[in-house]
């Protein structure tokens, strides 16, 4: 159940929305700060929004799924450093191949691996496709070494790496910056926000992440952030690749194995994203990522 707590400090009143729940025969609580000195209308609106976060986001994974994810994490942490390089090369080859293929890159998995680790450039591929693969590896290496948390700095740096020497000359000034033009997405019925709304929307997304990074399960946190990022579509191009890198950055930061979305599952991925973004049904995307994590034989 959810209820509102009121605390008085000096002449001000501070409001908190609380959800109590039972876990392993213990009663636990989650809290969300609503604001101070709220009038009745402001309080009601804040309570509704808080209940959406506390109730919906807090129940997207079953206890059984959480237990299995905990076991996955424990087993993952036992991975030997002795085979780190092998796991790194195998995962980044697959992740780079699939993430760029989702966006139309035609390099095969073998060509991707050869380019990344043997510098073998396929003669039949154009320079843009080759740069997409090499850039993706540079961006992946950044999320492995980045010691801070999700931020505007990280997002812009990733975009700059992903899109280096790729954008046409007439929009090359958009690299590493929030877009200054309207973009449209094929095959969907909604339109990303106007350029002027992007800075504020991204600040709100970063703020949501900061408030919830210690409250929500990392899989829910990473998935919701990914859906929000893709809905904002802050860049003129490269949103999918940057978004999937950020999804894996959050998982990696919380010591869970990263996830690779296969190109063959592209339509499932898009459908689950749209259900979350348009219908507000977040569960399909959570389950999609959960299943990929649990079914993967390669952990990195």
Q: Same domain, yes or no, for 54 and 202? A: no
Q: Same domain, yes or no, for 20 and 93? A: no
Q: Which of 217, 226, 233, 252 is catalytic?
A: 233
Query: Which residue in 225, 251, 273, 289 sits closest to 143, CA to CA?
Result: 251
Q: Same domain, yes or no, for 50 and 175? A: no
Mean pLDDT of the chain: 91
Domain count, the chain: 2
Q: Same domain, yes or no, for 126 and 146? A: yes
Residue 252 annotated as catalytic:
no
Q: Same domain, yes or no, for 48 and 64? A: no
Domain at 177, CATH number:
1.10.3290.10
- Residue 7 is part of which domain span? 2-58
Mean pLDDT on 42-62 = 76
Q: Same domain, yes or no, for 19 and 97? A: no
What pTM, to 2 d.p., does this model score?
Answer: 0.83
Long-range CB contact pairs, 128-133, < 8 A, 24+: 128/166, 129/100, 129/105, 131/164, 131/165, 131/166, 132/100, 132/103, 132/105, 132/166, 133/96, 133/97, 133/100, 133/105, 133/107
Q: What does the pLDDT read at residue 177?
A: 96
Q: Same domain, yes or no, for 85 and 191? A: yes
Q: Is the pLDDT of residue 57 over 70?
A: yes
Q: How confident is the model at residue 82 (pLDDT cuts 50, 70, 90)?
A: confident
Give the C-alpha separation, 298 to 75, whole Å.
12
């Amino acid at each position: 159940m959810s209820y509102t707590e009121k605390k008085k400090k000096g002449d001000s009143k501070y409001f908190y929305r609380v959800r109590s729940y039972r876990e392993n025969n213990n009663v636990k609580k989650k809290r969300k700060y609503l604001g101070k000195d709220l009038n009745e209308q402001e309080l009601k609106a804040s309570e509704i929004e808080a209940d959406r976060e506390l109730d919906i986001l807090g129940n997207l994974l079953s206890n059984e799924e959480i237990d299995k994810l905990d076991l996955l994490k424990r087993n993952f942490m036992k991975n030997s450093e002795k085979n780190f390089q092998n796991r790194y090369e195998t995962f980044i080859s697959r992740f780079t191949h699939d993430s760029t293929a989702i966006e139309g890159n035609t390099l095969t998995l073998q060509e991707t691996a050869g380019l990344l680790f043997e510098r073998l450039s396929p003669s039949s591929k154009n320079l843009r496709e080759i740069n997409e693969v090499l850039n993706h590896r540079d961006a992946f290496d950044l999320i492995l070494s980045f010691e801070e948390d999700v931020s505007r700095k990280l997002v812009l740096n990733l975009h700059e790496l992903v899109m280096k020497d790729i954008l046409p000359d007439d929009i090359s000034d958009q690299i590493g910056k929030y877009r200054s033009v309207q973009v449209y997405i094929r095959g969907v019925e909604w339109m990303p926000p106007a350029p002027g709304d992007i800075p504020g929307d991204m600040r709100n997304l970063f703020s949501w992440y900061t408030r919830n990074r210690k409250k929500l399960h990392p899989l829910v946190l990473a998935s919701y952030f990914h859906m929000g990022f893709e809905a904002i579509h802050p860049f003129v191009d490269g949103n999918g690749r940057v978004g999937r890198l950020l999804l894996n950055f959050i998982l990696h930061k919380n010591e869970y194995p990263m996830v690779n979305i296969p190109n063959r599952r592209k339509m499932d991925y898009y459908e689950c994203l749209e259900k979350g973004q348009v219908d507000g049904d977040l569960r399909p995307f959570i389950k999609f990522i959960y299943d990929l994590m649990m079914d993967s034989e390669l952990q990195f």
